[in-house]
């Protein structure tokens, strides 16, 4: 359905647009963007006081399907995505069976088509069965629609195999996404090796278990002659940031992501064994958090990703040692960044849109990330003033495992559009909310 969005402020870093704009959407694409388009023959939506920008893209989520449908499905995860302002997500390969061949890639894309909410880009495994022993069929998966490769959840410990995978992925021009963790150094740990983790008497994960592998992967990437895309997942510590800075100064082709929880929380959040704060990599010290924030501001880290990792309440209800790693993030990520980075002046909205839409689109090599004419009409509208209290009971995700429950946040997405179709409107998700309104109805409704 065609539509004119007017009265809102548009932030589109790729187009260099920052201010009032009217956006004409026709046949699922942005047809024109202008201060004033004059009379047009389509219904219009009044967005006074609202902010519009390209749909958010999360390069790192776990949708659990196939095999883990009790934790999340492609449909429930996609609903959580559009509820949180995301128009596309890239889902990791650690499902059951893992995404290590074209069949699973095809299955995920088919389920995502049926869910008909966010775009879902499968990430294929680097190694068969995520076992870290032999290469998975990267070309075959790429042909079927995989948009990157990763054994996320576990590292490729064998450096020769990792290098081979990077070489294989190179001509495909798809990123190799590395979960940097030396398993011998991590040694079964569950909390950061800081003063708080040690006080709890739990086995610890030292920061060097991550940074040593960051260094390795940067050096491996350097052997590829400036080609190939290395992307470092969920960086958590200051050492990794320093290595990334060093690599970029030398011209290594490497990008990195950081999660909202590593940007905003520290090991103290674990408090007395709170499993809602158990994730891998773990929450680290305040100096690490500060380094990550600084790297995000400097653009050394160019992507914010959630590492959305849903689990069932009874799994997270186990004792801290045995509860699974992971927190969800799709429905909290943007309001967290808005409230803690935009409102505080730490980051401009243009920069944040780069980190959450433009850079992710470029990493995956997918459409979106901009609303320049000719782009798909994938966009999000937020209400900068609306305040919410995070309440996991109302998540679309099947997961409830968030460390942000009870936080009061602003910058709530109120409309998410994919391909010109409204998928979320004021918290209601198409196909999920019984009273999801038609576009005609939405365009007639006034504030």
Q: Does 403 bind other proteins (CB under 8 A)?
A: no
Measured from the CB atom, is 113 or 199 closer to other proteins? 199
Stretch that binds other proteins, among 214-222, 312-320, 355-363, 389-397 (CB under 8 A): 312-320
Q: Is 81 helix (H, G, I), strand (E, B) or coil?
A: helix
Q: List the x/- string, 347-386, binding to other proteins by CB under 8 A.
A: ----------------------------------------
Q: Which stretch binds other proteins (CB under 8 A): 29-37, 45-53, 194-202, 336-344?
A: 194-202
Pair 83, 76: CB distance under 8 Å: no
The CA distances from residue 61 to 58, 72, 80, 156, 309, in Å, are: 7, 11, 11, 19, 7
Q: How far is the CB of 281 from other proteins (least distance, A)?
A: 16
What is the closest distance, in whole angstroms, from the C-beta atom of residue 84 to other proteins in the complex?
Answer: 30
Residue 366 dihedral angles phi and psi, to the nearest 5° = -120, 160
Q: How far is the CB of 207 from other proteins (least distance, A)?
A: 11
Element (H, E) at 408: strand 408-418
In the set 321, 343, 374, 444, which binds other proteins (CB under 8 A)? 321
Rounded to whole angstroms, how far apart are CA atoms 186 and 400? 27
User: Contact, 85 vs 417, CB < 8 A?
Assistant: no
By CB atoms closer than 10 A (0-12, 13-18, 19+), residue 358 is buried
Indicate the residue among 114 and 199 with the shorter CB distance to other proteins.
Answer: 199
**Secondary structure of residue 437 in the 3-state scheme:** coil
Q: How far apart are CA 206 and CA 240, in angstroms?
A: 12
In the complex, least distance from residue 309 CB atom to other proteins, rounded to whole angstroms: 20
Selected from 193, 352, 371, 381, the binder of other proteins by CB under 8 A is: 193
User: Min. distance of Cβ 318 from other proteins in angstroms?
Assistant: 8
Binding mask 258-297 for other proteins (x = CB under 8 A): --------------xx------------------------
Q: How far is the CB of 295 from other proteins (least distance, A)?
A: 23
The answer to whether residue 195 forms part of the interface with other proteins (CB under 8 A) is: yes
Active site annotation includes 100: no
Q: Determine if 200 is a binding residue for other proteins (CB under 8 A).
A: yes
State which of residues 55, 68, 148, 194 lies at the interface with other proteins (CB under 8 A): 194
Output DSSP code: residue 276: G
Q: What is the DSSP string of 228-249?
A: SEEEE-S--SHHHHHHHHHHHH
Asked if 108 and 65 touch (Cβ cutoff 8 Å), the reply is yes
Question: Using the rule CB under 8 A, is 346 a contact of other proteins?
Answer: no
- Dihedral of CA atoms 260, 368, 255, 306 in degrees, nearest 10, equals 20
Q: Which of residues 204-223 bind other proteins (CB under 8 A)?
A: 204
How far is C-alpha 84 from the geometric centre of its chain's CA atoms?
11
Q: How far is the CB of 73 from other proteins (least distance, A)?
A: 27
Find the helix or strand (DSSP H, E) in which 75 lies.
helix 74-83
Q: Which of 307, 378, 391, 419 is catalytic?
A: 307
- Single residue of 113, 114, 199, 250 touching other proteins by CB under 8 A: 199
Q: Which is nearer to other proteins, 252 or 275 (CB)?
A: 275
Please pick, from the candidates 319, 344, 434, 447, the single residue that binds other proteins as defined by CB under 8 A.
319
Does position 188 bind other proteins by CB under 8 A?
A: no
Please count the other Cβ atoms lying within 10 Å of the Cβ belonging to residue 75: 22
- Which span (17-25, 221-229, 235-243, 320-328) binds other proteins, by CB under 8 A? 320-328
Strand order in the sheet with 56-61: 56-61, 86-91, 119-122
> How many angstroms separate the CA atoms of 44 and 442, rounded?
10
Write out the residues near other proteins by the rule CB under 8 A.
193-195, 197-202, 204, 272-273, 318-322
Q: Which residues are catalytic?
A: 307
């Amino acid at each position: 359905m065609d539509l004119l969005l007017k009265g809102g402020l548009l932030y589109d870093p790729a187009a260099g647009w920052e201010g009032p704009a009217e956006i004409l959407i026709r046949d699922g694409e942005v047809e024109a963007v202008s201060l004033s388009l004059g009379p047009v023959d389509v219904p219009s939506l009044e967005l006074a006081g609202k902010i519009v920008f390209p749909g958010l893209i999360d390069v790192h989520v776990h949708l659990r399907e196939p095999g883990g449908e009790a934790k999340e499905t492609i449909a429930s995860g996609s609903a959580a995505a559009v509820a949180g302002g995301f128009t596309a997500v890239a889902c990791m390969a650690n499902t059951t069976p893992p995404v290590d061949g074209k069949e699973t890639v095809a299955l995920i894309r088919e389920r995502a088509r049926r869910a008909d909410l966010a775009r879902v880009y499968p990430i294929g495994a680097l190694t068969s069965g995520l076992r870290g022993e032999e290469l998975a069929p990267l070309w075959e998966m790429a042909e079927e629609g995989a948009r990157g490769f990763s054994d996320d959840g576990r590292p490729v410990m064998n450096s020769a195999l990792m290098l081979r995978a990077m070489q294989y992925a190179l001509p495909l021009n798809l990123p190799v996404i590395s979960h940097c963790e030396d398993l011998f150094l991590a040694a079964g740990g569950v909390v950061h090796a800081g003063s708080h983790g040690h006080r709890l008497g739990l086995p610890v994960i030292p920061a060097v278990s991550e940074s040593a592998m960051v260094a390795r992967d940067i050096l491996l990437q350097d052997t590829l002659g400036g080609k190939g895309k290395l992307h470092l997942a969920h960086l958590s510590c200051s050492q990794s940031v320093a290595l990334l800075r060093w690599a970029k100064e030398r011209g290594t082709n490497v990008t990195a992501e950081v999660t909202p929880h590593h940007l905003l929380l520290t090991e103290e959040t674990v408090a007395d064994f709170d499993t809602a704060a158990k994730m891998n990599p773990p929450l680290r010290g305040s100096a690490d958090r500060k380094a990550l924030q600084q790297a995000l501001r400097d653009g050394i880290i160019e992507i914010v990703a959630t590492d959305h990792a849903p689990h069932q309440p009874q799994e997270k209800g186990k004792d801290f040692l045995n509860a699974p790693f992971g927190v969800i993030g799709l429905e909290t990520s943007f309001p967290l960044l808005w409230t803690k980075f935009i409102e505080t002046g730490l980051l401009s909205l243009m920069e944040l849109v780069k980190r959450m839409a433009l850079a992710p689109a470029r990493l995956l090599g997918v459409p979106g990330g901009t609303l320049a004419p000719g782009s798909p009409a994938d966009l999000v509208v937020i209400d900068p003033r609306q305040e919410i209290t995070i309440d996991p009971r109302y998540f679309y995700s099947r997961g409830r495992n968030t460390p942000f429950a009870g936080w009061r946040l602003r910058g709530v997405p109120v409309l998410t559009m994919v391909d010109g179709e409204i998928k979320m409107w004021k918290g209601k998700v198409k196909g999920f909310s019984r009273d999801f309104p038609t576009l005609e109805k939405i365009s007639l409704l006034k504030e």
